[in-house]
């Protein structure tokens, strides 16, 4: 079983990764909010998919 300190650290780490994924998504002109929620559910897999397979979209400007 995880102690409460371990569980807190795990939760903070998972949330931080979701925020990093959202920032990466926005830098590639993709929806940061959608990728944030995706990363909350699948974590490192979403980050890997974003970095490895998603090219930067053309800007609307």
Instruction: Give me the percent of the chain exceeding a pLDDT of 90.
Output: 67
For residue 39 the two structure tokens come to 């990363």
Cα–Cα distance, 20 to 39 (Å, whole number): 9
Residue, of 7 and 45, whose pLDDT is higher: 45
Structural domain contains residue 59: no
| Confidence tier at 1 by pLDDT (50, 70, 90) | low
Mapping DSSP to helix (H, G, I), strand (E, B) and coil, where does residue 38 land? helix
- Whether the Cβ atoms of residue 48 and residue 54 lie closer than 8 Å to each other: no
User: What's the whole-number mean pLDDT along residues 14-26?
Assistant: 95
The total number of structural domains that make up the chain: 1
Structural domain contains residue 15: yes
Structural domain contains residue 29: yes
The pTM score is 0.86
Structural domain contains residue 1: no
Structural domain contains residue 31: yes
């Amino acid at each position: 079983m995880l102690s409460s300190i371990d569980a807190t650290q795990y939760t903070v780490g998972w949330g931080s990764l979701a925020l990093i994924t959202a920032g990466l998504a926005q830098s590639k002109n993709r929806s940061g909010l959608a990728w944030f929620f995706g990363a909350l559910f699948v974590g490192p897999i979403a980050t890997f998919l974003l970095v490895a397979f998603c090219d930067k979209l053309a800007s609307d400007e």
